[in-house]
Structure 1
Amino acid sequence: MEDQIKDFLHYLIVERRLAENTIVSYERDLREYHKYIFNVEKITSFKEITRIHILHFLKYLNERGKSAKTLARQIASIRSFHQFLLREQITSQDPTVHIETPQQHKTLPKVLNISEVEALLEAPKDDTIFGIRDKAMLELLYATGIRVSELISLNIHDVHITMGFVRCIGKGNKERIIPLGATAARAISSYLENGRPLLLKQNKSEALFLNHHGNRMTRQGFWKNLKKLTALANIQKDLTPHTLRHSFATHLLENGADIRAVQEMLGHADISTTQIYTHVTKARLKDVYNLYHPRA
């Protein structure tokens, strides 16, 4: 059973070419699934698994307080895995066929208003190499709406300052080209001239953003810096690494951007994912109306 999970993960890496974070998520879900099936249901082969066993596992997760979102992700992972086993003729049936995905309550993403964005972007001090780097990273995030995982994966040749665009490899190894604003371009130029060479030291690296060891910046390192900068900017909201991405999309739509263009820049495969930002803008309009209309 362990070998079949490894084969599936290898298939996701080599043939599906999924992002590393996605592979890690699949592996975590399937390890938990296998552990339950083996230890609780006493099953030693995926051929023996039925719909009832999977429902027992989902009930087990639900009783431990797992959210509908987590359950939906688990079902997606298990379904993909069993479809793989069926295609490879390891099993003769797919036990997930009649299992429904639980409906998820869509929560609106947290976004910063314009003044909060400006405060955050001004928080890094440009008199240190780390401040120059952090400012370039934040300006690039807000200018392009790319994911943090995409940001730290950028190499030097992916940013074309003179031509004003960034080349980004997103989920599913899909390439997209995103316009780069003048402010972000200046911040990146300053970093390339005054920050990166000092961080690189004697190392050799194609990575655009480096840590204090001269190696590629990690997601954890960025997240740690973001929390410090949020405190410096005196922002009371609970930020996540995706907050600037959400703010990028919301501010574009608030100012009349075409939703299809925003979808393309964000790299969403389905426009319904992008449409959640229209709900955010509508919610803001309602707040403005209630605040300023004399008969609200």
Structure 2
Amino acid sequence: MRHLNHNAFVSACRDERGVGHHTLRAYAQDLQTFARFAEAHQLSDPLSRDDILAYHRHLRDALGAKPATIERRLVTVKSYFAWREDRNSALPSPFTDVRISVRIPRRLPRPIDRDTLRAVLQEGEATFAVRSKPGEHDATPASEIAVTLLIIKLLIVTGLRISELTNVRVRDVSPDGGQILVNGKGSRERIVFVPNRELQEELRRHCEVRCNEGSLAAPLFLNTEGRRLRSATFRKRLRALSRRLGIEPHLTPHRFRHSAATLLIEEGIDIRMVQALLGHASLRTTEIYVQASNYALRRTLERADILDILRN
């Protein structure tokens, strides 16, 4: 078949629908996977229902892709052909009569338990205190530890995605450090609040330093080379911290996001408020944290076995 017009489709998604950078990159990868399949099997227009079913089997059996990956790749290709048909009715979508059901197992999120969160915060505070002393030298500078600890605290209280937080600029933080303007998925802006007074002051001081170093348009968080801190760099820092504290499974930014949501629901915060905080378009996405909270309740009750206590 003719070469898939990846670039035009991706550009249309960006310009017409405001799709985010990470989603655009996923679209491009998904279409490249389909293009390789089409070339290997010498598919030609117009594609048929059987071609799409064959691609589904290829993803499932030959590539061994996970159900979520299969669903995403099929949805991307379906969107591409719908977009193409909309621009040229002589090229009908092969998905018109296709009904493929991909069963995705619903997994509970794995938040970080409270004891581990306390240990992480205590380790960060203790390490920063030591590195800040005059004459103390280490491979990890105090400034890097301070930034890492500040980000961890913000992830815990705001539930931000790490990409959202590393893209924040100095001007996006309110003068008192109490709120942050965030550009989330699909370029949807939202405001998240920093409820802890001590953390507000810490964030305000950090913004003040960054303002003196650069401008209001500068990135809020920098790496050790003075450039915007990348998500991947922060993930490496969390892996190192996990090894040092013996935390398994290792810490990730998204586990902090899970923790933020679960802790709020356990503390009685309305689920719709948690939805707004996390920037979920659908309430269904947030509801999984209610299940996680119930799971935590069950584990707590099992530890406090009332019958066992009464017997002893």
Query: Structure 1 length as normaliser, TM-score?
Result: 0.90
Distance 1:145 1:91, change over 3 A: farther
CA–CA distance in structure 2, aligned partners of residues 216 and 175 of structure 1: 20
Match for residue 57 of structure 1?
55
The one-letter code of the counterpart of 1:60 is H
Consecutive unaligned residues in structure 1, runs of 5 or more: none
CA–CA distance in structure 2, aligned partners of residues 215 and 189 of structure 1: 20
Distance 1:168 1:205, change over 3 A: closer
CA–CA distance in structure 2, aligned partners of residues 90 and 239 of structure 1: 50
Report the CA distance between 1:73 and its aligned residue.
0.8
Match for residue 156 of structure 1?
170
Match for residue 166 of structure 1?
180
Q: What SS does the corresponding residue of 1:211 show, helix, strand or coil?
A: coil
Report the CA distance between 1:170 and its aligned residue.
0.5
Of 133-142 and 177-186, more deviation after overlay is shown by 177-186
Match for residue 34 of structure 1?
35
- RMSD of equivalent CA atoms: 2.2
Match for residue 133 of structure 1?
147
Of 15-24 and 266-275, more deviation after overlay is shown by 15-24
Q: What SS does the corresponding residue of 2:253 show, helix, strand or coil?
A: coil
Match for residue 284 of structure 2?
272
Does residue 8 of structure 1 match 2:20?
A: no
Match for residue 138 of structure 2?
none
Report the count of equivalent residues. 290
Does residue 112 of structure 1 match 2:103?
A: no
Match for residue 248 of structure 1?
260
CA–CA distance in structure 1, aligned partners of residues 35 and 88 of structure 2: 19
Q: What SS does the corresponding residue of 2:118 show, helix, strand or coil?
A: helix
Match for residue 189 of structure 1?
204
Q: What SS does the corresponding residue of 1:262 show, helix, strand or coil?
A: helix
Q: How does 1:63-78 map to 2 (within 5 A)?
A: 63=61, 64-78=63-77
The one-letter code of the counterpart of 1:48 is P
Distance 1:189 1:9, change over 3 A: same
Does residue 143 of structure 1 match 2:157?
A: yes
Of 256-265 and 124-133, more deviation after overlay is shown by 124-133
Question: Is the 1:168–1:176 contact (alpha carbons within 8 Å) kept by the matching residues of 2?
Answer: yes
The one-letter code of the counterpart of 2:78 is R
Of 246-255 and 58-67, more deviation after overlay is shown by 58-67
Distance 1:191 1:233, change over 3 A: farther
Q: After TM superposition, where is structure 1 displaced by more than 4 Å over at least 4 residues in a row? A: 202-205
CA–CA distance in structure 2, aligned partners of residues 160 and 193 of structure 1: 11
Report the CA distance between 1:121 and its aligned residue.
2.8
CA–CA distance in structure 1, aligned partners of residues 237 and 256 of structure 2: 14
Distance 1:162 1:189, change over 3 A: closer
Which has the greater radius of gyration? 2
Query: Structure 2 length as normaliser, TM-score?
Result: 0.86
CA–CA distance in structure 2, aligned partners of residues 135 and 81 of structure 1: 42
Match for residue 25 of structure 1?
26
Consecutive unaligned residues in structure 2, runs of 5 or more: 133-141
Deviations 1:135-156 (A, max 9, x none): 1111111111110110111101
Distance 1:90 1:206, change over 3 A: farther
CA–CA distance in structure 2, aligned partners of residues 15 and 252 of structure 1: 36
Of 82-91 and 250-259, more deviation after overlay is shown by 82-91
Match for residue 139 of structure 2?
none
The one-letter code of the counterpart of 1:152 is T
The one-letter code of the counterpart of 2:155 is L
Report the CA distance between 1:113 and its aligned residue.
1.6
Distance 1:232 1:183, change over 3 A: farther
Question: Is the 1:156–1:208 contact (alpha carbons within 8 Å) kept by the matching residues of 2?
Answer: yes
The one-letter code of the counterpart of 1:38 is E
Question: Is the 1:136–1:188 contact (alpha carbons within 8 Å) kept by the matching residues of 2?
Answer: yes
Does residue 258 of structure 1 match 2:270?
A: yes
Of 152-161 and 261-270, more deviation after overlay is shown by 152-161
Does residue 176 of structure 1 match 2:175?
A: no
Match for residue 121 of structure 1?
121
Report the CA distance between 1:116 and its aligned residue.
1.2
The one-letter code of the counterpart of 2:16 is E
